[in-house]
């Protein structure tokens, strides 16, 4: 990732209006900032959220609150709790997310 052309700035995430993204079950609420080719999001998944697709986008994801279950298309599964993160490259391992109780994430992609 090349971070260039972005002057110093701060973000008050509570000022960013969330957008709703429905999953197979539950909803994701994204607060998004775009900095050139870099997208930065604060995401909250509702309890019972299951992604409606396999994602091939690369991310760096940090779990702030709750518990996130991530399944890879090859069957491997991972659980993240607060203070944990994962990283995956574009077009590496397709993945999808689930949370039973809800989760709050910080994502850069």
Contact (CB, 8 A) for 45 and 26: yes
Residue 70 lies in a domain: yes
The CATH number assigned to the domain holding 63 equals 2.60.120.10
Residue 94 lies in a domain: yes
What's the confidence (pLDDT) of residue 4? Answer: 83
Residue 8 lies in a domain: no
Q: Which helix (H) or strand (E) holds 45?
A: strand 38-45
What's the confidence (pLDDT) of residue 2? Answer: 73
Q: For the chain, what's the residue count?
A: 109
- The DSSP code sequence of 16-44 is SPPEEEE-SBSEEEEEEEEETTEEEEEEE
What's the confidence (pLDDT) of residue 1? Answer: 64
The count of structural domains within the chain is: 1
What's the confidence (pLDDT) of residue 8? Answer: 94
End-to-end CA separation in angstroms for the chain: 9
**Residue ranges making up the domain that contains 67:** 18-108
Q: What is the mean pLDDT of each run of 10 residues along the chain (109 residues)?
A: 85 97 98 94 98 94 98 96 96 96 97
Residue 87 lies in a domain: yes
């Amino acid at each position: 990732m090349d971070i260039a052309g972005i002057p110093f700035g701060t973000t008050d995430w509570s000022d960013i209006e969330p957008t709703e993204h429905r999953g197979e079950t539950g909803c994701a609420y994204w607060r998004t900032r775009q900095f050139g080719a870099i997208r930065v999001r604060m995401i909250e998944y509702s309890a019972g959220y299951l992604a409606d697709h396999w994602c091939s986008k690369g991310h760096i994801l940090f779990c702030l609150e709750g518990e996130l279950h991530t399944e890879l298309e090859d069957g491997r599964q991972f659980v993240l709790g607060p203070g944990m993160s994962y990283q995956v490259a574009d077009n590496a391992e397709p993945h999808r997310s689930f949370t039973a109780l809800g989760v709050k994430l910080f994502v850069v992609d």
